[in-house]
Amino acid sequence: MLFRSAANRLQILAKTIPTHRDAAAAHLLAAWNAAQDAAKNSTSDGRYQELLAEHLSLWPASESADQARLWLGKDREAAGNRPAAIAAYAGVSRASPQFGLAIAALSRAVRQDLAALASSGQPVSESAAGAIRMFRQAIVGPENRWPERWTEADRAATLAAAELIATYRPGNASDAEDMLRRALGASFDAPPEWRTAAQAQLVLALAAQGGRQEEALAELQAIRSASTDQMLAVLDGLSHVAPISNERTKTANAQLQAAAVAMLSGSRGELT
């Protein structure tokens, strides 16, 4: 009862003077207390979710709103409502300290949602296109400009978009190539693991574009430090490229697959 009582008092206080500079923070604390109360009970009465929705309705542009969106996304994802989770995560602004966490959560929820659609036999292409646009928008922001300095969140969004293109929209591979080259060119301080993953996606983006298999092979040979999982992802991506290829491209992509298998064989010790 302690947490529930605190939540009620803080909600009333915040809504009494909603324009006060601390009103939004007090209301967010009310939501936190409601979450603690729900965690102590085996059943939830929806109070926590109600407070988060109210917070976003009353203070949508406050500093605390993005934290509320992240909490709401996590709650909806845990409840199995991925579309609502995706909408909440996507609403977190670039300026928020929570932006990186939101992009990581958004990537996870989108992948799971599209995989669920595909496994149930439902159309995926248009949903994937919307998700790709969402990640691109997260990078360029409301001014529709590529960042001068790419953050970890920008790089994560780039990889997420490229992976979706490789899996569901290989016909848009040139868009993936553009994003990846921009990110790689402006990310000299990026962790080696990210650079390798981005280069692996670049292999797929090039392979999906007819007549560029030699470039793809050169990129593939440049990432000998790729992990087993990354090489398996390349092989899986090439399998998505194959159905849209002509006979000449299929032959070239088969050579790419053979090269990837050879590189994978060299690191097969990771599989044991």
- pLDDT tens digits, 196-254: 889 889 998 998 887 788 898 888 888 876 677 777 877 777 777 655 555 656 676 77
Length of the chain: 272
Give the separation between CA 163 and CA 172, rounded to whole angstroms. 11
Per-residue model confidence (pLDDT) at position 235: 78
Residue 168, phi-psi category: left (phi > 0), alpha (psi -120 to 50), beta (remainder):
alpha
Per-residue model confidence (pLDDT) at position 26: 98
Give the separation between CA 87 and CA 80, rounded to whole angstroms. 13
Structure tokens at 18: 């909603």
Per-residue model confidence (pLDDT) at position 271: 43
pLDDT in tens, the chain (272 residues): 799 999 999 999 999 999 999 999 999 999 999 999 988 886 668 999 999 999 999 999 999 999 999 999 999 999 999 999 999 999 999 999 999 999 999 999 999 999 999 999 999 999 999 999 999 999 999 899 999 889 999 999 999 999 999 999 989 999 999 999 999 999 888 998 898 889 889 998 998 887 788 898 888 888 876 677 777 877 777 777 655 555 656 676 777 778 878 877 765 544 44
φ/ψ (deg, to 5) at 238: -65, -30
78 and 42 Cβ atoms separated by less than 8 Å: no
Per-residue model confidence (pLDDT) at position 249: 60
